[in-house]
A and B are shown apart, each in its own frame.
Chain A
């Protein structure tokens, strides 16, 4: 009495296949830990993005070569954020929903990180970023404590600007900020620190992007006769403002964040206009053995010294720190358990370690560790933020020349 028709046959075969398939995929899940590398390969972050992504791959290779972390191999899915929040959100959705990654690593601009963080929070996975916006420190962006920032906040940049302005003997500082979280974060940080030193900001302007001219804005600032103008800005607007400033015939000095006052700016404006501009960027942890090791890997992969890309050092540290946290959390730990170990492996107290292998060995011996990164000493505060040192570069004859380093 065989009443089996085609449909039940197919169903039965399908079910049997499903039964055999499930354990296989569970095994695969247990053996690998997936992360998404979401970096600005194109767009405004393109000078840094390729290096960031290659260093993620190199660090993962090193972790896997040392036997993996917490018994698991790390697998990377790489995407381009295009330095655009829209593109980044699409890529992040794909990484989370299709590739099932447990962390997104290396988002660069604040706009991208702020757009991606709701997705990583909803999925209860980590977001390791290099963005500056103060909003990333606090709820709602970091409501679950799953976001870690490997770059200085814009507020810390502002504090560094104030240190530099004091050291250079400026008395009458004015500020100009691009109207977004990052730009205003820079100048507000500066203002707080500058006024705490007993100084006054003589003029403040917040300007809109994509204007055909910034002359009225400049005129307002220059009317206060500042001796230095402190910027919270990006490359295109800085290019336009500096060009109009030069054509105004005024002599003022400038303190500008490193992502705006970079070689592209010098190329656009020439040596004469950019002479004497002070460009400030966070610098890597250059005297640490971890940096020397990173530098070696970077030279091999990119054919350039590691100091040429501070963000690549940050993404390198992201993978190493995450892997050490996985190792500390033990086999098959879930994301919450791994997240709980992030500060434990990176912050004091503990034995100072400089590589994943050394950290893994120390953990195996039952000792607490304190990973000293290539990008900074990498001690996360309660907001998941770090405090790197700042390099002070003077543009001289069309070259960025580092004169000194300030710590805050």
Chain B
């Protein structure tokens, strides 16, 4: 029993990271209407930003904030310099452009920080034990960070005027426009938000693992899987799907082994799409 509970906890924490990546992808897809392949590299940038911030100030909180700001800045720059100019092009053109932006970020980071792995110099602590179940204090902190970020995103989307406009554009861009909603302001808010969310995911992943220029790119596949599983364009769905994939991967390992745990996220996705093609929470009109 303890064994399974510990797997569940490990899956939850992995799932939160996947969920944040999926949230960033799904926000962009819902509003700007293309799959943003630079999401992974925005994550990486966030992790390096936090690494530099942490090294300079000694505070993980400030470091994390710098990472998130870095992600937001990159998101905004990508919009201003590239995506805005391509906004009338096809989805494929935007997708290809985002792959290019990802390459530029990755190459820039390799040039600036080198290929060798870097590690957050934070103290490692032994776990607490409840009834034999190991609870890691660092996990709790990371989970709290992830949940706080999610709260900020959802509060922005559902409690603020700009959030309402973003949802309006997501629902029907033409109708939003004739209602007097400025697409540029919505896009600016979107890219700041999506960049910051991806960067926070990168910071959390970097804290749990090691920071290297390829780390975010490797997370793109599970992130996309979760975005599709949750129903493309649905923020809550992306987070729930991320958690499902994270937990399913960890809990299945005693049965399918470790080599196939990555494949499992795709099996989950396949099954859901066969049974419910619009994803868990997607609406039919959301995926026109």
User: What residues of chain A have their CB less than 8 Å away from a CB belonging to chain B?
Assistant: 42-44, 46, 82-83, 179, 205-208, 210-213, 215-217, 219-220, 223, 235-236, 239-240, 243, 246-249, 264, 268-270, 272-273
Contact = CB atoms under 8 A, between A and B. Distances in A.
Given A43-B115, A248-B134, A219 B14 contact: no
B216 to A, nearest CB: 11
Q: Is the interface of A mostly helix, strand, loop or mixed?
A: helix
Nearest to B123: A270
B250 interface: yes
B17 A247 contact: no
B253 A268 contact: no
A252 to B, nearest CB: 14
B227 interface: no
Contacts of A216: 7, 10, 250, 253, 258, 261
Nearest to B222: A212
B134 A208 contact: no
A206 B117 contact: no
Interface stretch (B80-88, B164-172, B184-192, B206-214): B206-214
A269 B13 CA distance: 21
A213 B208 contact: yes
Interface stretch (B56-64, B124-132, B153-161, B268-276): B124-132
Nearest to A209: B218
Interface in B90-131: 115-117, 119, 121, 124-127, 129
Contacts of B126: 246-247, 249
B145 interface: no
19 contacts: A42-B115, A207-B258, A212-B209, A213-B10, A216-B258, A217-B253, A217-B258, A219-B10, A220-B254, A220-B258, A223-B3, A236-B210, A239-B119, A240-B208, A243-B124, A269-B124, A270-B121, A270-B124, A272-B124
How many B residues touch the partner, as a band? 35 or more
Given A223-B3, A268-B210, A46 B253 contact: no
A266 B6 CA distance: 28
B33 interface: no
Nearest to B209: A240
B259 interface: yes
Given A208-B262, A240-B210, 18 more contacts: A46-B116, A205-B258, A208-B261, A211-B262, A212-B208, A213-B250, A219-B6, A219-B7, A220-B253, A220-B254, A223-B3, A239-B119, A243-B124, A247-B124, A247-B126, A248-B134, A264-B116, A268-B117
A243 B127 CA distance: 12
Given A212-B17, A243-B124, A273-B124, A206 B258 contact: yes
Contact of A247 (B6, B117, B125, B210): B125
B76 to A, nearest CB: 27
B219 interface: yes
Nearest to A210: B218
A247 B258 contact: no
A41 to B, nearest CB: 11
B212 A212 contact: no
* A-B interface, 7 closest residue pairs, ranked by CB to CB distance from nearest: A210-B218, A268-B119, A215-B10, A249-B126, A216-B253, A240-B209, A216-B250
Given A206-B258, A212-B219, A236 B117 contact: yes
Nearest to A215: B10
A208 B259 contact: yes
A246 B218 CA distance: 25
Contacts of B254: 220
Interface of B: 3, 6-7, 10, 13-14, 17-18, 115-117, 119, 121, 124-127, 129, 134, 136, 138, 205, 208-210, 212, 214-215, 218-219, 250, 253-254, 257-259, 261-262
A243 B17 CA distance: 18
A84 to B, nearest CB: 9
Contacts of B17: 212
Residue of A212, A219, A235, A249 with most partner-chain B CB within 10 A = A212
B109 to A, nearest CB: 14
A236 B253 CA distance: 22
A42 B14 CA distance: 31
B219 A247 contact: no
A157 B88 CA distance: 58
B127 A248 contact: yes
B193 to A, nearest CB: 22
A211 B116 CA distance: 17
A104 B116 CA distance: 25
A210 B40 CA distance: 13
Contacts of A223: 3
A239 B121 CA distance: 12
B13 A249 contact: no
B258 A208 contact: yes
Residue of A206, A235, A247, A264 with most partner-chain B CB within 10 A = A247
A179 to B, nearest CB: 6
Contacts of A236: 117, 209-210, 212
B65 to A, nearest CB: 22
B115 A46 contact: yes
Contacts of A268: 117, 119, 210
Contacts of A179: 259
A223 B261 CA distance: 19
Nearest to B246: A212
Contacts of B119: 239, 268-269
Contacts of A83: 115
Nearest to B204: A212
B117 A239 contact: yes
B125 A206 contact: no
A263 to B, nearest CB: 12
B253 A213 contact: no
Given A236-B117, A248-B134, A206 B253 contact: no
A268 B209 CA distance: 11
